Amino acid sequence: MQVLGLDIGGANIKAATETAEALSVPLEIWRSPDRLVDTLVPIMNRFSAAEMLAVTMTAELADCFATKADGIDRVLRTVEVVAGKRPIRVWQTSGEFVSTQEARDESTLTA
């Protein structure tokens, strides 16, 4: 299975595959949180062979979101849109990848 790693940060979105193809795209999410989808679509198009997404984030901490939980929800809703039917796993500080729903439910562990 081809996995695309996405690191959705507050100032950059980074993507990488297990074959070491990678890129970094600037996005100051605190200034334009609604631009996240427009930033992710070309990344997904470039890595269209990806069958699964593995997501890490720090963007949820940006001050454009009312709370960390709100930031997680907004970021994950956008990722779900661009992922289509691809499964998504989200990194937690407990050292495991979880579903998007678990990431929302356990927002204090989501990173």
Query: For residue 77, what are the domain limits?
Result: 3-105
Residue located via tokens 């989808």: 37
- Tell me whether residue 82 is in a domain: yes
- Residue 57: strand pairing partners: 8
110 belongs to a structural domain: no
Q: What is the CATH number of the domain that holds 9?
A: 3.30.420.40
> pLDDT tens digits for 74-102?
999 999 999 999 999 999 999 999 999 99
Q: Which two three-digit tokens encode residue 107?
A: 């927002």
Judge residue 28's burial from the number of C-beta atoms within 10 Å of its C-beta, 0-12 exposed, 13-18 middle, 19 or more buried. middle
What is the domain count for the chain? Answer: 1
The pLDDT value recorded for residue 46 is 97
Which residues sit opposite 55 in a β-bridge?
6, 90
pLDDT at 111: 83
Question: Which parts of the chain register pLDDT below 50?
Answer: none
* Helix, strand, coil distribution of the chain in percent, nearest 5: 35, 30, 35
In a domain, residue 34? The reply is yes
Burial of 96 (0-12, 13-18, 19+ CB in 10 A): exposed
